[in-house]
Structure 1
Amino acid sequence: MNSSDKIYTLPQLQEKLQVWRAQGQKIVFTNGCFDLLHLGHVDYLEKARQLGDKLVLGLNTDASISRIKGPSRPLQDEMSRARVMASLLFVDAVVLFDDNTPLELIKAVQPDILVKGDDYAVEQIVGHEVVMAKGGEVKTVPLVKGYSTTNIVKKIENQLNENR
C-alpha cells in the first residue's frame, strides 16, 4: 500500500467507514493542520490511535490554514502534508476539509471516539455534542510539552536573524 492510498475524498471515506464498521472496527477521529510533522504530532497521533481500531485524520486545507493562522501559513501544501500524515502507520485515513472547524466533517464521519490534545477541555472540542449525542466518547490525550510548529518556526526565524 502506498501512503497516497490512505488519502480519501469524503465520499470515498464514507464507503471505507461502512466497511470498517461492518467489521466491528471502532473509529477514532482527530484533526489539525500538521504543517511540520514533529515529535508532539507523532506521540499525539499514536496515543489517539490506541483508543480504537482505525484513526481518521481530518486535515485542514491550505486555504483554511491561511484563514486561521495567517497568510504566511501553511509552510507545506496540503497534498504534501496529506502524504506525510498518511505515511504514518497508525493513521488509517486522511481527509481534507476546508472549513475553519471540522464540525461538518465530524457530522459526516460520525466517529466512535473524538480526540484532541489535553490543551482542550472536552466541552471546548468542536463536535463533542455530535459525538456524545450518538453515544460516542470524547477524549483528550496528553501532549508532549514544548513541541509546536509555531515554536519551530520561531526558532528558525530567530536563528536566521542571529546569522544576519
Structure 2
Amino acid sequence: MLPSEEKIVSLPQLLANVQEWRAQDQKIVFTNGCFDIVHLGHVDYLERARLLGDKLVVGLNTDQSVSTLKGPSRPLQDEMSRTRVMASFWFVDAVVLFGEQTPYELIKAVQPDILVKGDDYTVDTIVGHDIVLANGGAVKTIPLVKGYSTTQVVERVLAVQPR
C-alpha cells in the first residue's frame, strides 16, 4: 500500500487515529469539501488550514453527495480519485468520505479542536461551528485565492475552442 493510500480511512479508523493524536497532545484541524478538480485555491487553503494545528482531517463528499449538492453533471472525478489526490498532499493527515449533505455528524464524531472553511463563509454559517465552540475549540476562516474555483476552472475549459 502506498503512503497516500494509508491516509484514506474509514470513520472507525479515523476515530482511532484521532484518539492517538490527542494522547500525543496534537491539535486536530478539520475541513471538508468536494475537491472535484484540485486547483491552486484548494492547495493554498488546505496548506493554510494544516498550519493551524498538528493534524489535518479532510471530510470528502461521496460522489452521490456531490451530485446532490452540485448537480447531475458532477462530480467530474470519482471519489476514489478525489480521495487519493487529497491524501497525496503532505499537509493532509487523513481523508474520510461522508455521504450526508453536510459533515455535521462527522464533525460531531471527530470533535476537532479547530474547524476551518474558506472566507466565503462566516463562523456562524459553518456547519458544525456549534459543536466545536461548545467544546472549547476554534472556528476559523481562511482567505481564498481570488480567481480560483472549480466552477471557474470548468468554465475556462469549456470556453476553449479547438484550433
Normalised by the shorter chain, which TM-score bucket?
over 0.9
3-state SS of 1:55 partner: strand
Match of 1:60 in 2: 61
Counterpart position of 1:106:
107
AA matched with 1:163: P
Give 1:139's aligned residue: 140
Match of 2:22 in 1: 21
TM-score normalised by the chain length of structure 1: 0.97
Deviation, structure 1 residue 157: 1.0
Question: What's the counterpart of residue 97 of structure 1?
Answer: 98
Matched position secondary structure for 2:116 = strand
Letter in 1 for 2:138: E
CA–CA distance in 2 between the matches of 1:122 and 1:146? 23
User: Please, which runs of 5 or more residues in structure 1 have no aligned partner?
Assistant: none
Q: TM-score w.r.t. structure 2 length?
A: 0.97
Supply the AA of the counterpart residue of 1:90: F
Q: Match of 2:82?
A: 81
Q: CA deviation at 1:137?
A: 0.4
In structure 1, the partner of 2:162 is 163
Displacement, 1:23? 0.3
1:2-45 per-residue CA deviation (whole Å, 9 max, x = no partner) reads 10000000001000101000000000000000001100000000
Aligned-pair identity (%): 71
1:54-105 CA-partner distances (Å, limit 9, x unpaired): 0000000000000000010000000110000000000000000000101010
Deviation at residue 163 of structure 1 after TM alignment: 3.3
Q: CA RMSD in A?
A: 1.0
Q: Give 1:70's aligned residue.
A: 71
- The count of aligned residue pairs is 162
Structure 2 residue matching 1:76: 3-state secondary structure: coil
Instruction: State the distance in 2 between where 1:2 and 1:80 align.
Output: 15
